[in-house]
């Protein structure tokens, strides 16, 4: 059976050039990067070269990059670390309702400690309103955290404007850029970002590695105790091969960003046109223009997203229901709910996320199967429609 | 993760689709998940002879609906009323976090049985009133028929009388004309 992978926002394959760069770090340069001997020095050299690449990719300084186990750890560290380090100034935090669970759950955990959190609404496109943000800022607000790109619908936030607003009020600004890196150009200085979370496996790097950018001068308490690694801010032996892979992956992603995004845009636009023409009662969720090319969230009426994704999987096509972290749990997408996507569409919404290796043949196969399975599920649905589709 | 067996049923679920001339239909809507399950039953002398479903829901909802329908056939309505979710869960290996879906499907069955009883009651009521109506119509008809028969009899008798009168008249006339001659 043909297999098509359209879940690149969940994870990507490790590309060959990344893998080639990583292999020597497993068995040739295998020292502990924290050791003082030559084996250790060789390892720390590789780690620092990777750190340079990550810093360069986002316009930061090398000593502002801290490697983590991934995006979730980076988000936890940023939210809790900034809150704990700045609690003498206040205990109020502002985030949006459509943040990744690693941000939302960190906030819940802080609320139990006595912090107050304001969850900002988004509009039907998934955008945070600057006016509402300004309205919610208080004297004791110490942190604003708004994701750069939403993982479910791909909407790009007005990060620079939000960061400016934060700074005008003396507030630290953090952004979860896990889905943004490699999809949009990021310059932390130009965008006035203070703290930023990143992950390697969304950009053809290995799983289990990410990074937190912390601008020099920003106070952020460490999350993991018990080691002097990462300048004493993140204990634990550095996963050298993974860090090396991340360095290579982000270097390539940023270098090829325009070519890849153009290719994905062409494919995505063709895909949307075809679905529109061939399947009635559907809608695209998210912003029409202010979005990354790789993420496409589509709602189909009269079907259930899990059933649809499973039916596609049985045809060899991998897509996602909401975010991958949520699949298996019968709950409505908090993102689509916040965007007030009508129930009949959010119930049947699935995410297609395109990678740089996708072909037209894969897309045509997916389209044919999609038309077939939507029709099969609608035939046995308890909800039917009569009349012409809009 | 669903088992191979669950996915096999999901791929081509038996009893999917509506049922013509059903004896009862129940639709359950779960407000939290938005799942909607419709169960159809067809009976013959209180025994379920066929059952179908139409479901808007997850893989688990569709498979549970199908498994329930397969296991309903041959049961009496009374037996179906007493069923619990084990009728589904004992026949399929669902992931533990999906087992709650069986309750939705059972709820739809309960609504179908309720609907069956309502329809039956309605039919019975309609049946009784039909008999009463038929009796009164019969009574009315027989009364009218009797009246008509009486009328006809009277008419006939009248005709008969008239005939007799004219016959007598004719005989007298014949007799008088003979005398005149």
| ipTM rounded to 2 decimals | 0.88
Which residues, 6+ apart, have CB-to-CB distance to A188 below 8 Å? Answer: A58, A59, A60, A196, A213, A215
Ranges of beta strands (E only) in chain A are: 4-5, 65-68, 92-96, 116-120, 141-145, 172-176, 195-199, 210-214, 282-285, 295-300, 317-318, 349-353
pLDDT at position A329, please? Answer: 46
pLDDT above 50: residue A241: yes
Partner-chain contact B58 A332, CB within 8 Å: no
pLDDT at position A324, please? Answer: 45
Query: What confidence tier does A326 reach under pLDDT thresholds 50, 70, 90?
Result: very low
pLDDT at position A345, please? Answer: 96
DSSP code per residue over A6-29 = -BTTT--PPPHHHHHHHTHHHHTS
Which of chain A's residues have a Cβ under 8 Å away from the Cβ of B2? 310
Query: Of the residues A207, A222, A255, which one is the last residue of a structural domain?
Result: A255
Partner-chain contact A330 B61, CB within 8 Å: no
* Number of folded domains that form chain A: 2
The average pLDDT across A201-230 equals 96
Q: Tell me the pLDDT of chain A averaged across its residues.
A: 95
How far apart are the C-alpha atoms of A251 and A248, rounded to whole Å? Answer: 5
Q: Which residue has the higher pLDDT, A329 or A103?
A: A103
Q: Assess A306–B contact: CB distance below 8 Å, yes or no.
A: yes
Q: Which of A307, A332, A343 sits opposite B59 (nearest CB)?
A: A307
User: Measured between CA atoms, how close is A322 to chain B, in angstroms?
Assistant: 14
Residues A206 and A349 reside in one and the same domain: no
Per the domain annotation, does A335 fall within a domain? Answer: yes
Which of chain B's residues have a Cβ under 8 Å away from the Cβ of A329? 97
Q: Which residue of B has its CA nearest to A347?
A: B34
Range of the domain at B38: 4-124
pLDDT in tens, A57-100: 999 999 999 999 999 999 999 999 999 999 999 999 999 999 99
Residues A262 and A236 reside in one and the same domain: no
Q: Which residues of B touch A (CB under 8 A)?
A: 1-2, 7, 10-11, 13, 16-17, 27, 32-38, 53-59, 61-62, 95, 97-98
Residues A102 and A197 reside in one and the same domain: yes
Q: Tokens 């309505």 map to which residue?
A: B77
Partner-chain contact A383 B36, CB within 8 Å: yes
Which of chain B's residues have a Cβ under 8 Å away from the Cβ of A332? 33-34
**CATH number of the domain within which B9 lies:** 3.90.1010.10
pLDDT in tens, B23-74: 999 999 999 899 999 999 999 999 999 999 999 999 999 999 999 999 999 9
pLDDT above 90: residue A270: yes
Partner-chain contact B17 A379, CB within 8 Å: yes
pLDDT at position B135, please? Answer: 76
Residues A247 and A275 reside in one and the same domain: no
Query: Of the residues A236, A255, A274, which one is the last residue of a structural domain?
Result: A255
The average pLDDT across A108-118 equals 98
The average pLDDT across B100-128 equals 93
User: Measured between CA atoms, how close is A279 to chain B, in angstroms?
Assistant: 18
Q: Which residue of B has its CA nearest to A329?
A: B97
Q: Which residue of A has its CA nearest to B96?
A: A328
Q: Which residues of A are catalytic?
A: 325
Per the domain annotation, does A113 fall within a domain? Answer: yes
**Maximum separation of any 2 CA atoms in chain B, in Å:** 127
Residues A168 and A310 reside in one and the same domain: no
Query: What confidence tier does A322 reach under pLDDT thresholds 50, 70, 90?
Result: low
Residues A205 and A333 reside in one and the same domain: no
Residues A25 and A117 reside in one and the same domain: yes
**CATH number of the domain within which A99 lies:** 3.40.640.10
Residues A306 and A247 reside in one and the same domain: no
Partner-chain contact A380 B16, CB within 8 Å: yes
Tokens of B103: 């309750």
| Share of residues in chain A with pLDDT > 90 (%) | 94
DSSP code per residue over A267-321 = HHHHHHHHHHHH-SSEEEES-SSSB-TTEEEEEETTS-HHHHHHHHHHTTEE-BS
The average pLDDT across A199-203 equals 98
Query: What confidence tier does A123 reach under pLDDT thresholds 50, 70, 90?
Result: very high
Per the domain annotation, does B171 fall within a domain? Answer: no
Q: Which residue of A has its CA nearest to B4?
A: A314
Q: Tell me the pLDDT of chain B averaged across its residues.
A: 90
Residues A218 and A319 reside in one and the same domain: no
Query: What confidence tier does B10 reach under pLDDT thresholds 50, 70, 90?
Result: very high
Per the domain annotation, does A204 fall within a domain? Answer: yes
Query: Of the residues A210, A230, A255, which one is the last residue of a structural domain?
Result: A255
Rounded to the nearest 5 degrees, what angle is found at the Cα of A125, between the Cα atoms of A282 and B30?
55
Which of chain A's residues have a Cβ under 8 Å away from the Cβ of B27? 382
Range of the domain at A297: 4-12+257-379
pLDDT in tens, A20-36: 999 999 999 999 999 99
Residues A273 and A154 reside in one and the same domain: no
Query: What confidence tier does B179 reach under pLDDT thresholds 50, 70, 90?
Result: low
pLDDT in tens, A141-189: 999 999 999 999 999 999 999 999 999 999 999 999 999 999 999 999 9
Which residues, 6+ apart, have CB-to-CB distance to A220 below 8 Å? Answer: A77, A78, A81, A82, A85, A195, A212, A214, A233
Residues A303 and A316 reside in one and the same domain: yes
Which of chain B's residues have a Cβ under 8 Å away from the Cβ of A307? 10, 57-59, 61-62
Partner-chain contact A380 B13, CB within 8 Å: yes
* Number of folded domains that form chain B: 1
User: Measured between CA atoms, how close is A330 to chain B, in angstroms?
Assistant: 7
pLDDT above 70: residue B180: no
Residues A70 and A123 reside in one and the same domain: yes
């Amino acid at each position: 059976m043909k297999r098509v992978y359209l879940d690149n926002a969940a994870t990507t394959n490790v590309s060959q050039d990344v893998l080639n760069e990583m292999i020597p770090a497993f068995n040739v340069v295998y020292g502990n990067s924290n050791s003082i001997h030559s084996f250790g020095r060789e390892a720390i050299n590789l780690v620092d070269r990777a750190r340079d690449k990550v810093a360069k990719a986002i316009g930061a300084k090398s000593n502002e990059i801290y490697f983590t186990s991934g995006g979730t750890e980076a988000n936890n560290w940023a939210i809790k670390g900034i809150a704990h380090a700045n609690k003498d100034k206040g205990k109020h935090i502002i985030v949006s309702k459509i943040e990744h669970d690693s941000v939302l759950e960190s906030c819940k955990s802080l609320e139990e400690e006595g912090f107050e959190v304001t969850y900002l609404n988004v509009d039907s496109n998934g955008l945070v309103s600057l006016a509402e943000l300004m309205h919610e800022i208080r004297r004791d607000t110490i942190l604003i955290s708004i994701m750069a790109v939403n993982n479910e619908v791909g909407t790009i936030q007005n990060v620079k404007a939000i960061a400016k607003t934060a700074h005008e009020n003396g507030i630290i600004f953090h952004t979860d850029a896990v889905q943004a890196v490699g999809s949009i150009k990021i310059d932390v200085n130009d965008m006035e970002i203070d703290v930023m979370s990143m992950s390697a496996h969304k950009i053809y790097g290995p799983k289990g590695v990410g990074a937190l950018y912390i601008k020099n001068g920003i106070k952020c308490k460490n999350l993991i105790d018990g080691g002097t690694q990462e300048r004493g801010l993140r204990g634990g032996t550095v996963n050298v091969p993974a860090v090396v892979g991340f360095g290579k992956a982000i270097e390539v992603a940023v270098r090829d960003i325009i070519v890849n995004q153009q290719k994905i845009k062409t494919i995505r636009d063709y895909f949307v046109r075809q679905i529109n023409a061939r399947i009635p009662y559907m809608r695209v969720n998210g912003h029409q223009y202010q979005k990354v090319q790789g993420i496409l969230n589509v709602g189909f009426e009269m079907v259930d997203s899990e059933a649809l994704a499973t039916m596609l999987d049985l045809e060899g096509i991998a897509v996602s229901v909401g975010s991958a972290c949520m699949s298996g749990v019968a709950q409505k997408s908090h993102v689509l709910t916040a965007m007030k996507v009508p129930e009949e569409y959010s119930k049947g919404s699935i995410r297609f996320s395109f990678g740089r290796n996708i072909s037209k043949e894969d897309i045509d196969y997916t389209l044919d199967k999609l038309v077939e399975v939507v029709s099969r599920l609608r035939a046995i649905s308890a909800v039917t429609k009569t009349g012409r589709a809009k | 993760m669903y088992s191979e067996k669950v996915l096999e049923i999901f791929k081509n679920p038996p009893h999917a689709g509506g049922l013509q001339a059903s004896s009862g239909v129940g639709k359950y809507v779960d407000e939290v998940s938005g799942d909607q399950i419709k169960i159809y039953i067809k009976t013959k002398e209180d025994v379920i002879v066929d059952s179908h479903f139409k479901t808007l829901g997850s893989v688990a909802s569709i498979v549970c609906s199908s498994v329930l329908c397969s296991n309903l056939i041959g049961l009496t309505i009374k037996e179906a009323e007493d069923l619990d979710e084990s009728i589904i869960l004992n026949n399929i290996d669902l992931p533990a976090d999906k087992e709650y879906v069986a309750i939705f499907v059972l709820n739809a069955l309960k609504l179908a049985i309720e609907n069956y009883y309502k329809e039956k009651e309605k039919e019975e009521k309609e049946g009784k009133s039909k008999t009463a109506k038929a009796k009164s119509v019969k009574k009315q008809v027989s009364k009218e028929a009797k009246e008509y028969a009486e009328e006809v009899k009277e008419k006939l008798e009248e005709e008969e009388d008239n005939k007799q009168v004219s016959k007598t008249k004719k005989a007298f006339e014949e007799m008088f004309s003979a005398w005149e001659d």
